[in-house]
Structure 1
């Protein structure tokens, strides 16, 4: 029976903890509302009536309690008297707001962790505001009404005035300003930046409206001019029609009935001569204007052509100045980036503006027609001496070189022209002459001769074009300008990896800065991360300012830019792990690439509880591969090769640069997986063939002059120049913004020692010989065992692991050899005997 009673009491329905919190929250909010009503309805005379009321009078219908005007009656009169009159005046309403906010938190079952700071700051603000009003009431001839500040506020203000006199109002003003800023955000710097950004946004909107109004005015003015012109034209047409009718009436009518049309009088000889002279004059003026426009080499102009005649030779050379890409408006890129920033509301990010880039000089380089004419004469004369007939020649003038397109006679062999390339180089006295035989897609042989005065292509000229601004590439990279003066732009996602090589000082570092700058101007931090490996330690150090926006790194890494070889190896292996994890996510999502995955994740089709997340693109920048290959070799080559083979679909792309393009640095495995390659000036033809599979890079002239090959053909480009100062300004602009709380963290790789086999199981037959070799040379390295025992890398690595578990060598130390823990063979023999006994 007792048992049944116990069960009955246990199953009795009651209030759970959540429902209790909701009820308590409603009660607290009700108290706050009542308190606020009593403060709002404060009346100075209510307290006197409330004091005269006895407890019995409360039950009398005609009691004095009816004289109390407070909305809460005598209770409200007492509360409002103490809060408004005796303490902090009408500012006491803040106390009611705080209580109501606590009640709402209780009702919503929220955590009170962050509410303590707000409560303390609110009470402090109430006291400070009451004191500020009290100071104005007592010292600034304000109306003497203590209900706004209360007696406590006036008393504190008087004490502060007695201590600091007129300085008290300055102190109170500063404290008020600081308190307001802390209400907005406890990070004052962030608050100031937010206010500045807000002011800038207002100014930009006002400028946009002003520009829109100006544009509407101009359009209206154009419409008015158009209407006036149409009216004038209509009047002129009517006038001409009337004149024609009058002339027709004056002309004699023919006697024949069939021929009713008027016969026009034949023009005189003087009129014909005068007309021909006018046509000749117009032709001469047109030719002179074409020559003038050709001399001023402006990239935004249309394609120009000029024929140069040689008195001694009947072959004409046509000079073409390539048509430049249309320049965008100064604010087009900035407007597009603002719209793009609004689409990704993860953080409030502002793209770098075009104003951060240095403007190119207003005066462009001139086309030297005399130089082109002289080079044409030298080339034709040299080939004529060797009995090579040329039937046509064209010259395409680029920023760095001029391409002469030679059209040989049908019976001339191309190999014969190619054999005289060194003779032509000596005859033209050029720094580097490159021959293209034949030009792809044309029945002509190309000879590239460097210009005497070369043009610098500035990064602003490239980024501020409509081609770059309106591109739909995911990772757009605009390298510079081609010979035809067109902006050369590629999508890194389609390449998918890039191999760069060139001698010291040829422009590799500027090229890497150009790639990074293009991506910073077009990609949001939520969609792009960089992994920067810089063994030289100085080239990429400028980008440490944007680590919380764009950089990816290991969680235990001290520096955002990787400069240590062992850290570089760990980072590359971590990227391989990230690649494998991403492929697993794509497999679960049943998609084939990162773009489809992110679209599916954005629409909410993928569950975060299963590990799904937004996947940003990762661009790995390696500034000097030769140093990594020299110190780590195979250990670096393997993860690079893995990433190059598999990482395209999941958004990891490599940009690898080296100043030593030899076969032991750019190995066959790496080379096979990098179809897109860039060659700056190199020292020899062997280096050119290593990077491009053909010659030509040895004939480049440096300072950003480069050849690009993606397997479909060779393109010569003048790299856009971006200065160190421009890079600093861009990084400073991004770094000053509020970014993510920490950099993008790559996955941690497991320690190699966790998977080392037990030393007493499956010991290799070379174990004892390897141990003696290691002790003899006091060097625990895999390469030593490979050379001395003539075994493979994997087997030597397993033996080293067994030696570590046996206590003969120390743990893994990255690129350096392991420490040897045994000093002589006697100690080794004793250890081996113990192992045999244990076995």
Structure 2
């Protein structure tokens, strides 16, 4: 019995991927055998098949079966007769090719849906080609019917009977459209491409005609010039001969030579002098007319023209446009994610595919050389007016701004250039102009001027690069592109926390979505969990669909996205407890960081029975810190500061955003533990100094334009744009998959009332606001600590002690995690009776 079960479960013991590989090999073998039978088809085999009997098949040395020419014997002869003779002739070879394709896709664990278009196209091409060959076979009998088969002849004959000579026209049109569909499925795009091709030929022909006409004109002018020169030489020779004859025949007198001398050399000199004087008079007249016309124009135009005429500098400008990072293959990221998903067997998970993201338009952002030259002229002229000499200038064109690198003369003070920032901003009429004096790491001064036309950096052009696909970062964040048009990417585990600030509408929410999208495309849910705190309740609501895969919550939490201040405080305190528990695990495992711990656990060096477990990274996202600080203050700041100080080694990382970067929100304790900072456009220099410790963020131009620092230099980046529709596609793709049976839950805080030694006596140390708090609780029928904070304007700790006293007095129920306690008293009359009983008991 045991033997039978083991043999029956032979395939059941294999993994799912190995079963699919075996199935793919079998399907490819079937396709290959059918293809061999079609290739080796012989019309005489079918006659032999009809004469076969069951006895002759088992004769070893004789019988008709030995005379069959098909490579697969009797079975191959049957298959070949069916496909070649009865169906579509040798065109039926497409069928085994399609079967081979399906087998290969199953073997490689690819999406079979990708084979639907090749299958439909292949079968249609087989029928069409067989019908066309059948039509020529019927009309002209050019070849054997094995090329088209009986089905091809039947289809072409029916078409001829219905449409007559129009049948070949119909078949030709269908063949043409089929070939066009092979090049491009969108026929309209094919037509447009054909139009462009025809237009290109016409343009080339026109250019050739113009060049030919120009050559003819040049030859004609050359001939005219030669003829003219020849005529001049002939006339000069004739005049010379005539003058020689005249001088030899006439006597020399004082009066006779006068006329020739006046007609020759002295006369030509006088004419030249007079012509020069005439040209001078005309030039002076033109200048006077120009001055008169300038006087009637606005002063700005006069100044602009004067600058253009007076500018005779020798400073050349070099324009550099970054080529950008090399794009990865369309399916390379999907392939890597599939392999990564196979390595983690706890849950069957598919990473979001790259085709969920919108493709950027084909046309790039053309460099406006005229704009660059104009800005260069304005900068050099403005600095020249203040006696600042610039030796060279380079322009680095980015998606949002262009960086002009100036190399000043050795005797120029850098601070002097920086002092003219407002003058340059007014001269260039730019929204935000930023000066770096000097550029970090370079012996040059940088002036960043916004481009007239901005380029949108799409998230797909950032994620689908080899730099992102092949990165080995644990938590890779690809923010966008720098001025050099390179993808800017960092590892959140190395930062280790990120502080984001920016005014409303500057791109802060899109930046948060970009961070989450990058992590979803590279991290498996076994290795990453999010804790999302959103006091505004709408910014992170799109990610509720990934609750079963990526979100970590408190036990019994009503919503996966935390929106209540009290729940946020409780969650942050729970995270500090999670941090302490993880440190204990690392201590028992004798490792220093979470990566080494997980490697030890995966290798079986740590025992689960001793409490060890796989530790995923936890990324805590707080969308609006200002609201939490306003309502909770120190109670929120303390757990955030503690997590920022200690949580790096155990894999807990914070991403905190706020639209109000003031000192009472971003306190000194928070800033000290957040070296990684992002500043979008802010309202003032004070806000910029608060978030970055320096100015510059007030000169940004919004819509994703940002500055990033990680304790070193400052990098200007254009944030990658991810739309709401793209986020919905990604979350829908993940949310439709089967999630974990049990969500990742954070540890529950120890209830102060759970231990009898910690329960305060209800008759001792009763707070003076006890009765007022009891009335508030009964009136609102909500046993919430945050309710007492708001109504009584007290701190969290005092409100918590009062709630414990209310519990001991029987007014509210026990602790229930993130939800409010139940109120056990229904109305104020019952409350008054209860308070009277407590007073009597106390007396």
Normalising by structure 2, report the TM-score: 0.58
Q: Is the contact made by 1:757 and 1:801 (CA closer than 8 Å) also made in structure 2?
A: no
1:327 is displaced (CA, Å) by: 1.4
Q: What residue in structure 2 maps to residue 703 of structure 1?
A: 703
Q: Cα offset for 1:534? A: 1.7
Aligned in 2, Cα 1:486/1:555: closer, same or farther, shift over 3 Å? same
CA distance in 2, matches of 1:775, 1:599: 53
- Checking the alignment, whether the CA contact within 8 Å between 1:548 and 1:739 is kept in structure 2 is yes
Counterpart CA distance in 1 for 2:555 and 2:819 is 21
Asked if 1:433 corresponds to 2:433, the answer is yes
- 8 Å CA contact 1:530–1:551 kept in 2: the answer is yes
Q: How does 1:636-785 map to 2 (within 5 A)?
A: 636-754=636-754, 759=760
Identify if the C-alpha distance between structure 1 residues 575 and 413 changes in structure 2 by more than 3 Å, giving closer, same or farther: same
User: How far does residue 629 in structure 1 lie from its aligned partner after superposition?
Assistant: 1.9
* Number of the residue aligned with 2:420: 420
**Alignment match, 2:364:** 364
**CA separation of 1:317/1:347 partners in 2, compared to 1, >3 Å: closer, same or farther?**
same
Contact 1:436 1:447 in 2 (8 A): yes
Contact 2:334/2:354 (<8 A) preserved: yes
Contact 1:507 1:680 in 2 (8 A): yes
Aligned equivalent of 1:487: 487
Compared CA separation, residues 835 and 377, structure 1 to 2 (3 A) = farther
Q: Alpha carbons of 1:421 and 1:344: their partners in 2 closer, same or farther (altered >3 Å)?
A: same
Deviation of residue 786 (structure 1)?
12
Shift of 1:773: 9.3
Structure 1 residue runs of 5 or longer lacking an equivalent are 1-25, 34-96, 103-194, 211-307
1:587 aligned residue: 587
Task: Measure the CA separation in 2 of the matches of 1:607 and 1:817.
Answer: 38
2:615 maps to which residue? 615
Quote the residue 2:634 is aligned against: 634
8 Å contact 1:775–1:822 — kept in the other structure?
Answer: no
2:84 alignment counterpart: none
Q: Residue 318 of structure 1 corresponds to which residue in structure 2?
A: 318
User: What CA distance in whole angstroms lies between the structure 2 residues aligned with 1:541 and 1:784?
Assistant: 24
1:776-795 alignment runs, 5 A limit: none
Shift of 1:806: 7.9
Q: CA deviation at 1:833?
A: 7.2
Task: Check whether the contact 2:647–2:653 (CA below 8 A) recurs between aligned residues.
Answer: yes
Distance 1:759 1:834, change over 3 A: farther
* Counterpart Cα distance in 2 of 1:334 and 1:805: 55
Q: How many residues align?
A: 550
Question: What displacement does 1:359 show?
Answer: 1.0
Q: Which moved more, 1:772-781 or 1:430-439?
A: 772-781
Structure 2 CA distance for partners of 1:580 and 1:442, relative to 1, 3 Å = same
Distance 2:346 2:732 in 1: 21
Is 1:519 the counterpart of 2:519 in the alignment? yes
How do 1:264-343 and structure 2 match up within 5 A? 312-343=312-343
Contact 2:496 2:648 in 1 (8 A): yes
- Rounded Cα–Cα distance in structure 2 between residues aligned with 1:816 and 1:428: 59
3-state SS of 1:201 partner: coil
Partner of 1:600: 600
Which whole-Å CA distance do the structure 2 matches of 1:603 and 1:815 have between them? 40
Partner of 1:402: 402
Whole-angstrom CA distance in 2 between matches of 1:607 and 1:705: 49
Secondary structure at the residue paired with 2:109? helix
* Paired residue secondary structure (2:347): coil
Report how far residue 619 of structure 1 moved. 1.0
- C-alpha distance in 2 between matches for 1:101 and 1:373: 79
Q: Is the 8 A contact 1:770 1:785 kept in 2?
A: no
CA deviation map 1:586-617 (0-9, x unaligned): 11111111111111111111111111111111
Q: 1:553 and 2:553 equivalent?
A: yes
Change (3 A) 1:696 1:809: farther
Q: CA RMSD in A?
A: 4.2
Match of 2:535 in 1: 535
Shift, 1:341, TM fit: 1.4
CA contact (8 A) 1:783 1:793 kept: no
Shift of 1:760: 5.5
In structure 2, distance between residues paired with 1:742 and 1:781: 28
Structure 1 Cα separation of the partners of residues 488 and 359 of structure 2 = 20
Q: Offset of 1:818 from its aligned partner?
A: 13
Q: Would the aligned equivalents of 1:327 and 1:464 in 2 still touch at CA under 8 Å? A: yes
Deviations 1:456-484 (A, max 9, x none): 11111111111111111111110000001
Shift of the 323–684 alpha-carbon distance from structure 1 to 2, 3 Å rule, reads: same
Please, which moves more after superposition, 333-342 or 474-483? 333-342
Shift of 1:317: 1.9
Match of 1:201 in 2: 109
Alpha-carbon offset, residue 402 of structure 1: 0.6
What TM-score, normalized to structure 1? 0.59
Query: Using the alignment, how far apart are the partners of 2:496 and 2:586 within structure 1?
Result: 19
Question: Aligned partners of 1:666, 1:828: CA distance in 2, in Å?
Answer: 45
User: Could you say which residue in structure 2 is the equivalent of 1:227?
Assistant: none
C-alpha distance in 1, partners of 2:558/2:785?
29
SS in 1 for 2:405: strand
CA deviations over 1:198-226 (Å, ceiling 9, x no partner): 6993556998xx9xxxxxxxxxxxxxxxx
Counterpart contact for 1:406–1:444, Cα < 8 Å: yes
The alpha carbon displacement at 1:546 in A equals 1.7
Distance in 2 separating the partners of 1:365 and 1:526: 40
CA contact (8 A) 1:771 1:808 kept: no
Q: Give, in angstroms, the shift of residue 575 of structure 1.
A: 1.6
CA–CA separation in structure 2 for the residues paired with 1:575 and 1:438: 43
C-alpha change, 1:361 and 1:309, in structure 2 (3 Å) is farther
* 1:51 paired residue number: none
Decide whether aligned partners of structure 1 residues 728 and 418 sit closer, same or farther in structure 2, where only a CA change above 3 A counts: same
Cα separation, partners in 2 of 1:705 and 1:627, compared to 1, 3 Å: same
Give the SS at the match of 1:706: strand
Contact in 2 for aligned 1:574/1:748 (Cα 8 Å): yes
Matches within 5 A, 1:89-100: none
Whether 2:477 is the aligned partner of 1:477: answer: yes
- Tell me, in whole angstroms, the C-alpha distance in 2 between the residues paired with 1:499 and 1:671: 8
Q: Deviations over 1:111-167 (max 9, x none)?
A: xxxxxxxxxxxxxxxxxxxxxxxxxxxxxxxxxxxxxxxxxxxxxxxxxxxxxxxxx
Contact 2:569-2:636 within 8 A present in 1 as well: yes
Q: Distance in 2 between matches of 1:720 and 1:645?
A: 30
Q: For residues 746 and 795 of structure 1, what CA distance do their matches in structure 2 show? A: 22
Looking at structure 1, the residues matched to 698 and 822 of structure 2 have their Cα atoms a distance apart, in angstroms, of 42
| Alpha-carbon offset, residue 579 of structure 1 | 1.2
> Structure 2 CA distance, aligned partners of 1:771 and 1:620?
36
What per-residue deviation string (whole Å, max 9, x for no partner) do you get for residues 759-810 of structure 1?
559977xx776669989999999999999x99x9798579757865785997
Instruction: Name the CA distance, whole Å, in 2 between partners of 1:818 and 1:735.
Output: 33
What's the offset of the Cα at 1:715?
0.3
Alpha-carbon displacement from aligned partner over 1:264-296 (angstroms, at most 9, x marks no partner): xxxxxxxxxxxxxxxxxxxxxxxxxxxxxxxxx
Q: Match of 1:318, SS?
A: strand
Deviation by residue 1:629-681 (Cα, 9 ceiling, x = unmatched)? 22222222222222111111111111111111112222222221111010111
Q: 1:206 to 1:416 in 2, by over 3 A?
A: closer
Deviation of residue 692 (structure 1)? 0.9
Distance 1:815 1:336, change over 3 A: closer
Compare 777-786 and 362-371 and name the one that shifted more.
777-786
2:292 paired residue number: none
Check 1:818–1:339 CA distance in 2 against 1; reply closer, same or farther (3 A cut): closer
Pairs within 5 Å for 1:207-222:
none
Aligned to 1:139: none
| Closer/same/farther in 2, CA of residues 768 and 722 from structure 1, 3 Å limit | closer
Name the stretch that deviates more: 772-781 or 630-639.
772-781
Following TM superposition, by how much is the alpha carbon of 1:394 offset from its aligned partner in structure 2, in angstroms?
1.6
**1:577 alignment partner in structure 2:** 577
Q: CA deviation at 1:538?
A: 2.0
